[in-house]
Copies of this chain bind each other. A is one copy, B any other.
């Protein structure tokens, strides 16, 4: 596993540092999306706040993770599928936010349906965020 993590970083031309490896590992361990604060907590604040900001930004730029738009406008991040490459994200999947436990799921296998937009609108990317009650809270 540790090797897989390092592999991913190398593949994206990033040097393998402890903080990057640890943060990327967190994303792989977690089935759900993570906020900046989650990462601070799960790493016992071993890394500087700033390092986390910069690491997340780097990962987003490289297409390793993506941000998830949320109704309360907090910032969430989740792993991208493998097909995502730098600059060309493939975010066309559904997110689900549980109203009770707050967990955000990336439902990679649920595809976003075609939406009929009005004349003149050309979509490039479509995000779907559903909220409700998740399988653990029902």
Chain A positions near chain B (C-beta within 8 angstroms): 67, 69-75, 94, 96, 99, 105, 107, 110, 112-113, 115-135, 138
What is the bound-complex CA distance between A131 and B135, given in angstroms? Answer: 30
Q: A110 and B118 in contact (CB under 8 A), knowing A71-B69, A127-B71?
A: yes
- Chain B residue nearest to A129 (CB atoms) is B127
Once the chains bind, are B99 and A121 in contact (CB under 8 Å)? no
What is the bound-complex CA distance between A96 and B94, given in angstroms? Answer: 17
Write out the residue numbers on chain B whose beta carbons fall within 8 Å of the beta carbon of A127. 69, 71, 128-131
Q: A120 and B138 in contact (CB under 8 A), knowing A70-B73, A73-B67, A115-B113?
A: yes
Once the chains bind, are A115 and B133 in contact (CB under 8 Å)? no
